[in-house]
Structure 1
């Protein structure tokens, strides 16, 4: 009873890791094209983000010092004369100039830019924690859920890193319209 031997059965890996029944024909395995695209996406993202950051910050560290010998101009005060019209036309409509809207949009963009930069900066540590957490699903035995979490986390990280580029494109499109 105590010396009962347990027979170990060897199962080939294809029975529990090969998901080829899901894909017809040659789509079962990754081709060179798939590998090249998967390798190019992070490279293109890094290059695009690097170019955006270089273009945004290359002139931000220039000196703004004024020469010491520059003359200080005193403002001249002139009296203000109020002119009140005697007749106001009924169909008078102000012309929209967009100054307030442009300044408001610029102010909101200036306020939210550090928020976007902070979110981009903290995306890597958060993505790292989520991917390590997904590895625990492998340990538990739920590999499908682990791969799903890892893929979603990777896609989210890439999109967050590209968000300044997307926002710049949207701003350019908005200014063109």
Structure 2
């Protein structure tokens, strides 16, 4: 009664990980169409988000549509404009920097949440790496332990200071 032996049964991996019994025929495998559709979802999401952010800062479009009932002119006469003599015709326009400012603002606004997420997760990751470095002390490899702990600490400090560095780069970019 007490010496009863249990027999270990080896089960093939496909019996508990393969869900092919739920599908029939070619539905068991992903086709090129399925792969292309799955790969296009993040791309379309990124494009849609980029267009939304671009239109968010571009105030040319109104959120409400207003009907316009103006009479339509049948005959259009050409408009002749006279160029004042004080403006040279062959001069090159001065760059205003409006497009560069908007592009920089859109890019900075789009990347700010990513930077904030990286700053937020830097402490837990640095903590795990430092604890891993402490295990090297236990294994007798103190040089590698100090190296790991110092690199994790330096990485944490640099990640925490990255918003400051990005602001300095933004200020330099505006000055140039």
* Higher RCO, Cα 8 Å, sep 6+: 1
TM-score normalised by the chain length of structure 2: 0.49
TM-score (norm 1): 0.48
